[in-house]
């Protein structure tokens, strides 16, 4: 477990540093990242905890806030950064942008910016896995907002009916853009809506170990033919829904609320714990950060030195 | 890829179903059923799903008892959850399978629009070519018996508008089989939209498998005075109109596009260059419809060949009424086509 914790920390820290680098460059004078961004800061324990239990052949299905899922599953950072910069070397050849990062080779099978659009597709992907008698598992990430869409209920019922190898991971960050739960739903306990249909695990989504343990149980159940599970991870978004702000301008949350959650940062919590237990020291942490920093610098360089797709390629890829 | 062994239509001894050689008389639904069963035998990745599909009369006889041969894993009934289940079909297609999702009525496809329009049609393009989606969505348009506004809509115009979708509209048992096989073999989402009115007709259908290429229309009847384009069940009306017109000394050329996206514009243009007149008879509505689209294309490509404006025979911009007196006023027939021809040729 000792080594695993450090690995989980590194994976979370990497996502945070990538998002920070994107935020730092997004509104610069050049504005080369010509794409609407939805940053993942604060929710890293969910993507990392879940994906740490997946194999390369397993798949994830993501949403508009996809950077964390993409990186946690092993998506290529250079190609992600190129996609954000509209380059032909991007993971979607410049056709997708920030809300549609996909890397089939590494199991980032689909990302949809239509909220909950990925949920039924991931379910169908798992149906195919079962029909092909593979032992691969599909994991679908979606938010509390998506849980309100009818297709989530439809997909979950169908997955349970057919005992599909799929895990539904609801990242409950308490807001749908800027609308809190109590303005949207009569029952704000999302898990309770599904617990009569399939096994449900509700965990602290800012505790990567807790997420990992619950995900491990759910993924193992899916892989061994026992069927789907629902994982609700209680977490919080540090940034605004879109762009780089933090939404404490009186629009939808208070500075105090944000600070409370920042004090519950999944990365800092794990760091403190590891320092306290002597698993890691400041020097080691510094080295980790330097390594990630270099990787990010190289990714920006890769993106900036790549070409944008030529207008002659406009029609490429419409048909399969 | 087993599909490469299936011949294209022009590589077999069949003349669009006119040839008796190697053909049997099958009904439209029998022809589709044969296509589905041959596809499932050829390729284990093919499966079919839909509400009531394992019912004795599932899909108007076209899926009857298929599950008995292929089992209920590959032929399964679906809950009434069209949004979710369309996504399930898209996901299975992305993962290498070839689903055929059946709907008794295209009206219910409106519940699937998010998956068809926002997802299935876009993912190959949006992912830079990482996601092929070999999916067939099949629905049968209804008409008559007071079906009214929610069980009778011909919605092909909506789907034709969406980049990334193919839209197939067979009119004969021969085409039904060959187009269904091509639809399943195709690596893209295909809307297979046929019409209840043509389900009981019989025609020559070869036993062996054949694929009809999309975008290749057929001249159903040769003529030289006027071109009439009949879409879906309006082809039957166009053929009946042509019989009557011949008795009145008018030689009409009848074109069946067979697929409306892509569609065989060259065939239409060539015919119009010969005749100088065009009537487009469609099962859909007038405004923003398929007839309007085809007319615009013909104006752009053959304006100087036209001796008069193009006539559109379409449904009025109205929901379908139930009462038979209103139904009769709403739907178009051979008589409406003959009237349109009369207006063009000045022979009323």
Among candidates A120, A161, A317 on the partner chain, residue whose Cβ is nearest the Cβ of B87: A120
Structure tokens at A74: 């092993």
Give tens-digit pLDDT for B26-85.
999 999 999 999 999 999 999 999 999 998 887 899 999 999 999 999 999 999 999 999
- Set out the domains of chain B in order of their start, with CATH numbers: 16-211 (3.40.50.970), 218-343 (3.40.50.920)
Least confident of A27-31, A183-187, B2-6: B2-6
Among candidates B89, B124, B126 on the partner chain, residue whose Cβ is nearest the Cβ of A319: B124
Is the pLDDT at B21 greater than 80? The verdict is: no
Structure tokens at B172: 């004969």
Q: What is the distance in angstroms between the CA of the first residue and the CA of the last residue of chain A?
A: 44
pLDDT at B17: 72
Catalytic residue among B119, B151, B156, B195: B151
Per-residue confidence at A209, pLDDT binned at 50, 70, 90? very high
Task: Transcribe B59-100 into DSSP letters.
Answer: GGGTSTTHHHHH-TTTEEE--S-HHHHHHHHHHHHHTT-EEE
Average pLDDT over residues A197-202: 98
Among candidates B91, B123, B133 on the partner chain, residue whose Cβ is nearest the Cβ of A120: B91
Give tens-digit pLDDT for B278-326.
999 999 999 999 999 999 999 999 999 999 999 999 999 999 999 999 9
Structure tokens at A121: 């597709």
Query: Taking CB atoms and an 8 Å cutoff, what residues of chain B touch A318?
Result: 124-125, 163-164
> Would residue B118 be called left, alpha or beta, if left means φ above 0 and alpha means ψ between -120 and 50 degrees?
alpha
pLDDT at A72: 98
Listed in sequence order, the residues at least 6 apart from A206 whose beta carbon sits closer than 8 Å to its beta carbon are: A42, A45, A234, A235, A236, A261, A264, A265, A266, A269
CA angle A125, A131, A137 (to 5 degrees): 45
Q: Which of B84, B163, B261 to mutate to test the interface with A (most CBs of A within 10 A)?
A: B84
B46 touches chain A (CB under 8 A): no
Q: Tell me the nearest-neighbour CA distance from B59 into chain A, angstroms.
A: 22
Interchain CB distance below 8 Å, A121 and B115: yes
pLDDT at B14: 55
**Dihedral sign (CA B59, B65, B70, B73):** positive
Average pLDDT over residues A178-182: 93
Inter-chain Cβ pairs, chain A and chain B, closer than 8 A = 145
Task: Transcribe B157-199 into DSSP letters.
Answer: HHHHTSTT-EEE---SHHHHHHHHHHHHHSSS-EEEEEEGGGT
User: What percentage of residues in chain B have a pLDDT greater than 90?
Assistant: 89
Give tens-digit pLDDT for B135-154.
999 999 999 889 999 999 99
pLDDT at B269: 98
Per-residue confidence at B13, pLDDT binned at 50, 70, 90? low
Interchain CB distance below 8 Å, A120 and B88: yes
Average pLDDT over residues B232-240: 97
Q: Answer yes or no: are the C-beta atoms of A265 and A42 closer than 8 Å.
A: yes
Least confident of A140-154, A245-259, B84-98: A245-259
What CA–CA distance (Å, rounded) separates B317 from B319?
A: 7
CA angle A182, A183, A186 (to 5 degrees): 60
Structure tokens at B73: 């894993």
Is the pLDDT at A1 greater than 70? The verdict is: no
pTM: 0.96
Give tens-digit pLDDT for A131-150.
999 999 999 999 999 999 99
Interchain CB distance below 8 Å, B95 and A96: no
Among candidate residues A99, A100, A108, A104, the one with its CA nearest the CA of residue A73 = A108
Cis previous bond, B262, omega within 30: yes
* ipTM higher than the 0.90 cut: yes
Among candidates B83, B129, B132 on the partner chain, residue whose Cβ is nearest the Cβ of A120: B83
Q: Answer yes or no: are the C-beta atoms of A169 and A46 closer than 8 Å.
A: yes
Per-residue confidence at A298, pLDDT binned at 50, 70, 90? very high
pLDDT at B59: 86
Chain-centre distance of CA B199, in angstroms? 12
pLDDT at A176: 94
Answer yes or no: B161 catalytic: no
Query: Taking CB atoms and an 8 Å cutoff, what residues of chain B touch A121?
Result: 87-88, 90-91, 94, 115, 119
Per-residue confidence at B215, pLDDT binned at 50, 70, 90? very high
Query: Taking CB atoms and an 8 Å cutoff, what residues of chain A touch B88?
Result: 120-121, 123-124, 127, 155, 158
Per-residue confidence at B12, pLDDT binned at 50, 70, 90? low
Q: Which of A66, A124, A155, A164 to mutate to test the interface with B (most CBs of B within 10 A)?
A: A124
Is the pLDDT at A56 greater than 90? The verdict is: yes
Interchain CB distance below 8 Å, B96 and A100: no
Is the pLDDT at A282 greater than 80? The verdict is: yes
Is the pLDDT at B268 greater than 60? The verdict is: yes
Q: Answer yes or no: are the C-beta atoms of B277 and B308 closer than 8 Å.
A: yes
Q: Which of A60, A127, A161 to mutate to test the interface with B (most CBs of B within 10 A)?
A: A127
Task: Report the residue of chain A nearest B127, measured CA to CA.
Answer: A92
Taking only Cα atoms into account, the Rg of chain B, rounded to an integer number of angstroms, comes to 20
Query: Taking CB atoms and an 8 Å cutoff, what residues of chain A touch B86?
Result: 120
Supply the mean pLDDT for chain B: 95
Query: Taking CB atoms and an 8 Å cutoff, what residues of chain B touch A316?
Result: 129
Per-residue confidence at B117, pLDDT binned at 50, 70, 90? very high
pLDDT at A173: 97
pLDDT at B345: 94
pLDDT at B249: 96
Query: Taking CB atoms and an 8 Å cutoff, what residues of chain B touch A120?
Result: 83-88, 90-91, 115
Q: Tell me the nearest-neighbour CA distance from A231 into chain B, angstroms.
A: 19
pLDDT at A42: 98
Query: Taking CB atoms and an 8 Å cutoff, what residues of chain A touch B80?
Result: none
Give tens-digit pLDDT for B185-199.
999 999 999 999 999
Average pLDDT over residues A31-59: 97
Is the pLDDT at B182 greater than 80? The verdict is: yes
pLDDT at B284: 97
Task: Residue window 90-109, chain A: list those with CB within 8 Å of chain B.
Answer: 90-96, 100, 102-104, 109
Q: Answer yes or no: are the C-beta atoms of B146 and B323 closer than 8 Å.
A: yes
Among candidate residues A137, A320, A119, A302, the one with its CA nearest the CA of residue A217 = A137
Least confident of A222-236, A287-301, B52-66, B161-175: B52-66
Query: Taking CB atoms and an 8 Å cutoff, what residues of chain A touch B73?
Result: 131
Chain-centre distance of CA A168, in angstroms? 13
Per-residue confidence at B348, pLDDT binned at 50, 70, 90? low
Answer yes or no: B151 catalytic: yes
Task: Report the residue of chain B nearest A116, measured CA to CA.
Answer: B84
Average pLDDT over residues A44-52: 98
Per-residue confidence at B15, pLDDT binned at 50, 70, 90? low
Q: Quick one: fold of A2-313?
A: Rossmann fold (3.40.50)
Torsion angle of C-alpha atoms B300, B302, B304, B307, degrees rounded to 10: -110
Task: Residue window 226-285, chain B: list those with CB within 8 Å of chain A.
Answer: none
Supply the mean pLDDT for chain A: 96
Interchain CB distance below 8 Å, B119 and A112: yes
Interchain CB distance below 8 Å, B129 and A320: yes
pLDDT at B190: 98
């Amino acid at each position: 477990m000792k080594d695993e914790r450090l690995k989980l920390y590194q994976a979370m820290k990497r996502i945070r540093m990538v998002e920070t680098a994107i935020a730092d460059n997004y509104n610069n004078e050049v504005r080369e990242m010509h794409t609407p961004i939805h940053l993942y800061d604060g929710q890293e324990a969910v993507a990392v905890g879940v994906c740490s239990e997946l194999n390369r052949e397993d798949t994830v299905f993501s949403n508009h806030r996809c950077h964390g899922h993409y990186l946690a599953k092993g998506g290529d950072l250079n190609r992600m950064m190129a996609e954000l910069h509209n380059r032909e070397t991007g993971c979607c050849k410049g056709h997708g942008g920030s809300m549609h990062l996909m890397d089939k080779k590494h199991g980032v099978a689909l990302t949809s910016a239509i909220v909950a659009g990925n949920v039924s597709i991931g379910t169908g992907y798992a149906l195919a896995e079962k029909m092909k008698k593979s032992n691969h598992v599909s994991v679908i990430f979606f938010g509390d907002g998506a849980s309100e869409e009818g297709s989530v209920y439809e997909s979950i019922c169908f997955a349970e009916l057919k005992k599909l190898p799929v895990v539904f991971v609801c990242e409950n960050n308490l807001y749908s853009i800027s609308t809190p739960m109590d303005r949207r739903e009569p029952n704000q306990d999302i898990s309770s809506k599904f617990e009569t249909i399939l096994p449900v695990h509700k965990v602290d989504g800012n505790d990567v170990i807790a997420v990992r343990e619950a995900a491990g149980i759910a993924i193992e159940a899916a892989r061994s033919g026992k069927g789907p599970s629902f994982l609700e991870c209680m977490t919080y978004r540090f940034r605004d829904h879109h762009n780089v702000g933090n939404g404490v301008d009186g629009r939808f949350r208070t500075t105090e609320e944000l600070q409370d959650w920042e004090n519950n940062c999944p990365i800092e919590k794990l760091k403190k714990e590891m320092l306290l237990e002597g698993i890691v020291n400041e020097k080691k942490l510094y080295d980790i950060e330097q390594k990630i920093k270099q990787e990010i610098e190289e990714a920006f360089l890769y993106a900036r030195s790549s070409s944008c797709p030529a207008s002659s390629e406009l029609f490429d890829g419409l048909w399969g | 890829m087993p599909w490469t062994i299936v011949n294209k239509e022009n590589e077999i001894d069949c003349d669009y179903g006119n040839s008796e050689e190697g053909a049997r008389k099958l009904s439209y639904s029998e022809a589709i059923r044969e296509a589905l069963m041959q596809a499932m035998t050829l390729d284990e990745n093919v499966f079919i799903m839909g509400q009531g599909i394992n019912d004795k009369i599932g899909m108007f006889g076209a899926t009857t008892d298929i599950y008995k041969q292929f089992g209920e894993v590959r032929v399964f009934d679906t809950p009434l959850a069209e949004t979710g289940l369309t996504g399930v079909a898209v996901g299975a297609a992305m993962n290498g399978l070839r689903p055929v999702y059946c709907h008794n009525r295209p009206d219910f496809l409106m519940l699937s629009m998010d998956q068809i329009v926002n997802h299935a049609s876009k993912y190959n393009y949006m992912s830079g070519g990482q996601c092929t989606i070999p999916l067939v969505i099949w629905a049968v348009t209804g008409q008559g018996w007071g079906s009214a506004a929610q069980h009778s809509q011909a919605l092909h115009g909506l789907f034709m508008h969406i980049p990334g979708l193919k839209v197939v509209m067979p009119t004969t048992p021969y085409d039904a089989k060959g187009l269904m096989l091509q639809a399943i073999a195709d690596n893209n989402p295909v809307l297979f939209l046929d019409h209840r009115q043509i389900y009981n007709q019989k025609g020559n259908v070869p036993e062996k498998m054949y694929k009809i290429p999309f975008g290749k229309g057929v001249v159903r009847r040769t003529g030289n005075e006027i071109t009439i384009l009949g879409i879906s069940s309006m082809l039957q009306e166009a053929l009946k109109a042509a019989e009557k017109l011949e008795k009145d000394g008018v030689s009409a050329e009848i074109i069946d596009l067979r697929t409306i996206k892509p569609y065989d514009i060259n065939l239409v243009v060539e015919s119009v260059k010969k005749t100088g007149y065009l009537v487009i008879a469609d099962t859909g509505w007038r405004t923003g419809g398929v007839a309007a689209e085809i007319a615009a294309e013909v104006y752009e490509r053959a304006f100087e060949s036209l001796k008069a404006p193009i006539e559109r025979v379409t449904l009025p911009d109205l929901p379908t009424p139930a009462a038979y007196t209103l139904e009769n006023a709403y739907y178009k027939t051979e008589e409406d086509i003959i009237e349109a021809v009369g207006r063009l040729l000045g022979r009323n």
